[in-house]
Chain A
Amino acid sequence: MSQRVLLLVGTRKGVFILEGDPARRSWALRGPFCEAWPINHVIGDAATGTIFAGGGNAWFGPAVWQSDDRGASWTHSSAGLTYDAGQDPVASVWSLARGVGCLYAGVEPAGLFRSTDGGQTWMPVDGLRAHPSRPHWQPGAGGLILHSVVPHPSDDQAIWVAISAAGVFYSADGGQSWVARNQGTRADFMPEGQRYPEFGQCVHSLVMAPGMPERLYQQNHCGMYRSDDAGARWESIEAGLPSSFGFPAAAHPRDPETLYLVPLNGDTVGRYVPEGQAAVWRTRDAGASWQALRDGLPARNAYFGVLRQALATDPLTPAGVYFGTGTGTLYGSADEGESWTCLAQHLPPITSVETMVVDR
């Protein structure tokens, strides 16, 4: 039985699924799914084969869609994805993550929900919105969104989340209580003397190193950081990158020293790849040094960005790396980023890319 990679692609107008051949050279595209709803994140559960897609529709509100047959048919639910009456309603689902025995959904306005019945019904993780910093959370350009959910791989009580622009928060008790974990990350947009606050940083993405739950990486609006103590303290690792600004970060499936980024030129000058030259940047030493990976990517006249959930790796050997652009193009590498090919073009703006390996 051969293993194949499914690329799960969220876009502004539905979900697309690409299925690769065993060599990851040719890809078959299917979609759009989910009635062309705006979808912010699509994940797969390789153990069950279920695909989950989170999004929100301006007409019909938030929902988590799911498919048990690789996209052939879909159902949707938002049962319980609500705040109390009188609060600003949940507008959309921004991020999904599998926890130990549960599924998490991060939403806009920022909050966290948990499902223990496979996404059929949801319960709020109330402790987060009860945090004393909550009245001071400010929205970023994408809204006040909880966009990164990072559950501990074996401790069902430990979880990190990231909110734009409130920062990183950690719970050690299953979400009942939370602490801000932003020490060492900058908020350059704040007045001088207030640029290292307890919370309020504009974190753009948060990922965990494989096999090292205490090691986290974050791409921030203001820099790139690594923490080796579960977020208690962050160290800048942006030296050697062309920019301190970008959105996504993707961990290697096995090597905690390897990380992929797509730096953009800056927050006020277009937010596209620097100099119009596309590159994914990789570290092999936990951020001490960086290498631009450009082979096969546009060398000129490229003015796209890559959004916070649109960069992913697969677990095969060598690892595959994939990213989708705001201009609807999907690129992939089957050799850890050394060389790239265009896998699809002319899609709607791509919001997320994830992988799921299936047997066939």
Chain B
Amino acid sequence: MIAATPAVVRVVLPAALQLLFHQCPQETEVTAATVTEAIDALDACWPGMRHRICDERPAIRRHINIYIDGVRATLPTPLRQGGEMVIVMAISGG
């Protein structure tokens, strides 16, 4: 069931993102209604994190994916109570 109001979700962060924010755990919880709001909540805890995950189009950065309960999401994707948001880095580079 999709929550019309903010929901508490578990967020899993990639290791390379943790490295950029030294007090940041691998897993945390936020209260948010959408992916955008969840990222805002992360940014409130670790200033600057939003711009690492999103660009100013605005959109999730090209080489980052966000999955909500196992399904690839975009910024407006709604969250459900008890759900899981996993931030994944693309396999890219050389």
Contacts and interface: CB of A to CB of B under 8 A. Distances in A.
B56 A59 contact: no
Interface residues of B, number: 21
Contacts of B53: 60
Contact of A58 (B19, B20, B92): B92
A77 interface: yes
Interface string B34-59: 00000000000001100111011110
15 contacts: A35-B16, A35-B19, A58-B92, A59-B61, A59-B89, A60-B17, A60-B52, A61-B55, A61-B61, A76-B48, A78-B51, A79-B47, A81-B51, A82-B51, A86-B57
A61 B19 contact: no
Q: Mostly helix, strand, loop or mixed at chain A's interface? A: loop
Given A60-B61, A61-B61, A85 B56 contact: yes
A347 B19 CA distance: 22
Interface of B: 16-17, 19-20, 47-48, 51-53, 55-58, 61-64, 89-90, 92-93
Contacts of A189: none
A83 B58 CA distance: 10
Task: Categorize the interface residue count of chain A.
Answer: 10 to 19
Contacts of A61: 51-52, 55, 61
A89 B55 CA distance: 6
**Most chain A beta-carbon contacts within 10 A, residue among B16, B19, B53, B89:** B16
B32 to A, nearest CB: 21
A90 interface: yes
**Most chain B beta-carbon contacts within 10 A, residue among A58, A59, A81:** A59
Contacts of A86: 57
Interface string A74-103: 001111011111110110000000000000
Contacts of A35: 16, 19-20
B56 A90 contact: yes
Given A78-B51, A79-B51, A60 B20 contact: yes
Given A58-B92, A59-B89, A59-B90, A79 B56 contact: no
A90 B57 CA distance: 10
Contacts of A84: 56
A59 B52 CA distance: 8
Interface in A197-235: none
Contacts of B89: 59
A58 B55 CA distance: 11
Contacts of B16: 35, 59-60
A89 B56 contact: yes
